[in-house]
Structure 1
Amino acid sequence: MIKVAITGNIAAGKSTVEKILINQGYSVLNTDNVGHDLLDGKPDVFKSFPFYIDVAKEVLRAFKGYEILDESGRICRNKLGKLVFSDKTLLRRLESVIHPLVRLKIYEFFEEHKDETVVFVSVPQLYEAEMQYMFDKVLLVFSEDKYRYKRLLKRDGYTEEYASARINAQMSQVDKLLLCDDCIENDGTIGELKVRIAYLLNEYKHYKPKRVRKP
């Protein structure tokens, strides 16, 4: 089984790549969704492990004194996001709670799909969290900042200030280009994107890992 990480900065087009792969029958795990489910307290995030971790409780403890709850008393991801993406120290605090469990979910996903030829995991914070060593290949979805900025402003709740904060909170795309194995540019049409994906899929199907990635 070839394990491919899909990464890229916000609004680069990772979700579009994921949808194309899913429509072609490939298994894809979205770790952003895993993080959201953990924060929302969903009990069925893990299928293979007989325990339940109250992530919301851990986050509330880590962010005691901060306004991150909605009117119903649940964690408001929008409030939490605006808080952590304006302060890198708080972002690291949140990641220290979420990332270990995301790693565990990735291992569970690998085990569930171990008989498949190629599987994909979308990890936006791949390099920041040093998760690249879990994969055989790293695929970077790249898009120029001006296009990413425009896409963000179309999303609900995104002001110019918040969009800039989200972009600036991440490792630069140039640095990621120097580290990744493959790159897909997503500044063209869907048709062009599908052609690039088809080429890489053919490469991955015939790829044989030459080394074990180590931290």
Structure 2
Amino acid sequence: MKKFKVAITGGIGAGKSKVSDFLMKDGFSVLKADDIAKDLMQNNSDVKKLIIQEFGEESYKDGKLNTKYLSDKIFNDEDNVDKINAIVHPIVIEKINELCEKEFSTSNLVFVEIPLLFESELQDFFDYTILVFADEGIRIKRTIERGNISEADVKKRMQFQIPDEEKKDKVDFVIENNSSIEDLENRTKLILLLLKNLSSVD
């Protein structure tokens, strides 16, 4: 049996988390790159030191990561996006690899939800890649409905993401999410079946 690390990517509001939920419901582990990054930014002293050096003491408020301050700094300046990525991404990949090795003791497939897979040039760390795709208008509507973000801010974040149309030719599987939740689950199950078959081939 082969063991595969599988990346799940897609733009903001595409439905990555829903796909992850379906996979977890089927008993598979899904690591969340954003959660790992936030944990390291909050608790790793080396990462905290580098962030403060680059973005200032305001990056942490009362000992906690000041996400609003950092978001405002990062998403208003493309250079700052590159700077935070250079600090966080290497240690995130190191942590993901460590966690994947643990998961491989009980499963042949480990999934990693990683929104900025191609923007971070991390695709080569994975055996297979899945793009969750939805039309831009649908993605904007979904993200606003989740709350605490304006349409202008959604569009601003989209500017720093490679358009999903460009990613389609770079991934192994595409899950379209312009329809119902039932349709999304069925498409996810089909991809899972294909990956299980690939894993079982010697």
Instruction: Work out the CA distance in 1 between the residues paired with 2:138 and 2:100.
Output: 33
Q: Which moves more between the two structures, 74-83 or 31-40?
A: 74-83
- Following TM superposition, the consecutive aligned residue runs of length 4 or more in structure 1 with deviations greater than 6 angstroms are none
- DSSP 3-state at the match of 1:120: strand
Q: Write out per-residue CA displacement over residues 161-181 of structure 1, whole angstroms, 9 at most, x where no aligned residue.
A: 211101111111111112111
Q: Partner of 2:95 in structure 1?
A: 105
- DSSP 3-state at the match of 2:174: strand
Instruction: Work out the CA distance in 1 between the residues paired with 2:47 and 2:59.
Output: 14
Q: Write out per-residue CA displacement over residues 144-187 of structure 1, whole angstroms, 9 at most, x where no aligned residue.
A: 10011112222333122211101111111111112111000111
Q: Partner of 1:57 in structure 2?
A: 49
Q: Partner of 1:12 in structure 2?
A: 14
What is the one-letter code of the residue matched to 1:183?
A: V
User: For 1:30-41, what aligned pairs fall within 5 Å after superposition?
Assistant: 30-41=32-43
Instruction: Work out the CA distance in 1 between the residues paired with 2:42 and 2:180.
Output: 35
Q: Partner of 1:49 in structure 2?
A: none
**Contact 1:136–1:209 (8 Å) recurs in 2:** no
Alignment length, in residue pairs? Answer: 198
Q: Partner of 1:180 in structure 2?
A: 171
Q: Partner of 1:24 in structure 2?
A: 26
- DSSP 3-state at the match of 1:158: coil
- DSSP 3-state at the match of 1:94: helix
Alignment pair present for 1:206 and 2:197: yes
**Contact 1:86–1:169 (8 Å) recurs in 2:** no
Instruction: Work out the CA distance in 2 between the residues paired with 1:40 and 1:128.
Output: 23
Cα offset, 1:7, TM superposition: 0.6
What is the one-letter code of the residue matched to 1:40?
A: Q
Cα offset, 1:209, TM superposition: 10
Q: Partner of 1:46 in structure 2?
A: none
Q: Which runs of 5+ in 2 are unaligned?
A: none
Q: Partner of 1:76 in structure 2?
A: 66
Closer, same or farther: CA 209–162 of 1 in aligned 2, 3 Å: farther
What fraction of aligned residue pairs are identical, expressed as a percent? 33
Q: Which protein has the bigger helix share?
A: 2
**Contact 1:140–1:177 (8 Å) recurs in 2:** yes
Q: Partner of 1:156 in structure 2?
A: 147
Q: Partner of 1:143 in structure 2?
A: 134
Instruction: Work out the CA distance in 2 between the residues paired with 1:165 and 1:5.
Output: 24
Alignment pair present for 1:134 and 2:136: no
Q: Partner of 1:170 in structure 2?
A: 161
Q: Which runs of 5+ in 1 are unaligned?
A: 42-51, 211-215
Instruction: Work out the CA distance in 1 between the residues paired with 2:10 and 2:158.
Output: 11
Instruction: Work out the CA distance in 2 between the residues paired with 1:60 and 1:209.
Output: 47
Alignment pair present for 1:124 and 2:115: yes
Alignment pair present for 1:91 and 2:78: no
Q: Write out per-residue CA displacement over residues 106-151 of structure 1, whole angstroms, 9 at most, x where no aligned residue.
A: 1102210223121101111111111111111100000110011112
